[in-house]
Each structure stands twice: as C-alpha cells, then as structure tokens.
Structure 1
Amino acid sequence: MRTWSRKNSLGGVKIRSEMDAREASVLRSLVSSVLSLLEDRAAAAPQDDLAELTGLRTGNSDAPTDATLARLLPNFYRAEADREGTAAQGANMNAALRSLHEPEIIDAKLAAGSVILQTVPPEGGKVSLTPEQADAWLAGLNDVRLALGTTIGIDADTPDELEPDDPRAPHLDVYHWLTWMQDSLVQVLVP
C-alpha cells in the first residue's frame, strides 16, 4: 500500500492511496470478519415488547463473553474498587447503558466497516476517499486492529517482532500494517 495523500480538486478534497490485490483481500477479509461478529451480536439482542411499542431499540444488557466482542463493545462504567457495593451498582449501570446504547454503537461500527468494503477495490487498485469516508476508515481500521490485537493477544508487553516460529508472527505483521495504514491516514487528515 502506498502512503495516503491529500488532493484538492474541483469536486473537493480527496484522500488517495493504492493497494495491491493481496492487501485488498486481507483488509476486506478482516473487515468482513469484524462486521460478521457485530451483526451476530446485534441479531442476538432480545426482543423487547416496550421497544416495539415505542420504537426505541434495545440491545443486549449482558456484556459479550467473547473476548474480541468485549474489546469492541466494552463496559460503559467501571466500579471503584475501594467502595463497598459499587460492583453491583456498576453491573446494573452497565446493563442499562448497554441495553440503551449498544444498538447505536453497533450500527456506527457496521457503517464504518461498510465504507471500507465499498471503497476498497476487490482486485486492488486506487482508493479515493472523501474526508467523511476517511473518518469512517479510521473508525473501521481501529475496530479491526482491536479485534486482531485481542485475538492474537497483543498487550503492552508484546515485542515489535516475534520469533519466526511463533504462530502469531504473521498476524503481528498484519497488525503493524493496519497500524501504519491508520497512522498514515491520520497524518493526511490533520491539516
């Protein structure tokens, strides 16, 4: 992939780059996997009679048990460890907030990932984004990085390079590529 560039044209600002077919395939596959996880989570939301009457959508009140989904959809509130009774209060608050806001959060994540899928040529090639699409790319790339990082166990102690025989090594290279792509896009968007 080439570094992102910013071009002013008669049609407005365009953010451009180019990907080869392999890069496009990897990115499309990763984004599709994340979208599938989120769609499954949204489909698993309980049906609420009150929501049907009022038109207010509700989501799951329980936190995801899957580590990747838990990273993409973290709790809203953390209880203070030194205060008595805050764990139960925090659980109740998280359940209520999750039920109210998770559908919108999932919708935003699905929309961002969809923009990536719509703008990455399946066979590779030129990518041209509006600033709004570039913002969606940043959000979508962040979700893919979070999902991949959780899946392969990246944390603060993970070295920049792994031993070649480590099964996570190729995935870490992809993680670094996604990080570079996201950082390059940020650099172009910041005037």
Structure 2
Amino acid sequence: MQNWRRRGRGSSIRITTRLDAHESELIASLVTSMTELLDERSDSAPTDDLSAITGIETGHSTPPDDATLGRLLPDFHRPDQDRELGADTVNGDLNGALRSVHEPHIIAAKSEAAQTVLATLPPGGGDVSLTPAQAEQWLTAVNDVRLALGAMLGVTENTPDQLPSDDPQAAHLDVYHWLTVVQELLVVALMGK
C-alpha cells in the first residue's frame, strides 16, 4: 500500500492511495466479516410491540457474549468507572436501557461506514480516491475491524510486536499492525499534514 495523500483544495479535496490486489481483497474480507457479525447481532434483536407501534427501533438490552462483538458494542458504563465518575451506584438496568435504545443506531453507523469502504474499494487492487467524508468512513471501518481483530487475538499492551513465525496467530497479528498503520496514515492525510 502506498501512503495516503491529500490532493486538491476546497471542495475538490481527495484522499488517495493505491492498494495491491491482496490488500484490497484482505480489506474487503475483513470488512465483510465484521458486517456479517453486526448484521447477525441486529437481526437477533428481540421484537417489541411498542417499537412496532411507534416505529422506534430497539435493540438488545444485554451485551454480546462474543468478545469481538463486545469490543465493537461495549457497555455505556462499567462498574469500574463508578469511583472515577463519582457515582455511588449505577443501576445495572441503565446499561440495558441505553443499549436497547442506542445499539441499533451504532450498528447502522458502523454498517454504513463498512459499506462506504466496500463501495470505494477497487476490486483486484488499484487507486482509491476518497472525499474527506468517505475517508472518515474508512477511518471508522478500519478502526472497527482493527478493534474486532484485536479482541479476537486478545491483544493487550503486553502483546509483543511480533510473534514467532510458527505461531498460528502470527499472520493475524501482522494484519492487526498493518491496519494500525493504515489508520494512522489516513488520519495524517485527513489532517492535511
């Protein structure tokens, strides 16, 4: 992958790069897999009579059991934040209520970003030319894929930069680090530096 570049001025600004065929295929595969996870979560949301009457979409009130989805759809408040936030107690139902109301919108935003990536990704590799709004959608999707992959791998601050080549997760960790670089370079290009 070539470095992201910011080209043009004003309303003609484009954020560009060139992807090899395998890079394009890898991004498409990762984004599609993440979208499928989000779709499964959305499709399994319980139905609600009030939602059907009002048209207000509701989602799950419980967090995902899967660590990957849990990283993409975390709780709004964690008990370990009580002291930090100065709260004496937080009702466990608060997270459920917030999740039920907001999760469908969060999933929709993540899915929209993923669709932008898939729509602007050159099949078989090639040039990528994005508007700043599309580049921001790319940032969202790349970050989500990176978070999902990191959760699957159990990445922590103690995870080494590289695993032995015979480790079954070595290639996946390399992809995780590559996505980190893609994200960082895209941020720099969007900032105009």
Question: Where do 5+ consecutive residues of structure 1 fail to align?
Answer: none
Deviations 1:122-170 (A, max 9, x none): 1110000000000000000000000111111111100111111111111
> Which segment is superposed worse, 71-80 or 180-189?
71-80
Identical-residue share of aligned pairs (%):
50
Give the Cα separation in 2 of the matches to 1:66 and 1:173.
Answer: 23
TM-score normalised by the chain length of structure 1: 0.94
**Correspondences of 1:53-132 after superposition (within 5 Å):** 53-80=53-80, 86=89, 89=91, 91-132=92-133
**Aligned Cα RMSD in Å?**
1.8
**Correspondences of 1:1-191 after superposition (within 5 Å):** 1-8=1-8, 12-80=12-80, 86=89, 89=91, 91-191=92-192
Which aligned segments of 4 or more residues in structure 1 are displaced greater than 2 angstroms? 79-87
TM-score normalised by the chain length of structure 2: 0.93
SS of alignment partner, residue 178 of structure 1? helix
Give the Cα separation in 2 of the matches to 1:96 and 1:9.
Answer: 44
Give the Cα separation in 1 of the matches to 2:20 and 2:11.
Answer: 26
SS of alignment partner, residue 159 of structure 1? coil
Give the Cα separation in 1 of the matches to 2:180 and 2:87.
Answer: 40
Amino acid in structure 2 at the alignment position of 1:116:
V
Question: Where do 5+ consecutive residues of structure 2 fail to align?
Answer: none
SS of alignment partner, residue 8 of structure 2? strand
Task: Return the offset for 1:120.
Answer: 0.6
Give the Cα separation in 1 of the matches to 2:27 and 2:87.
Answer: 46
Give the Cα separation in 1 of the matches to 2:190 and 2:110.
Answer: 20
The number of residue pairs the alignment matches comes to: 189
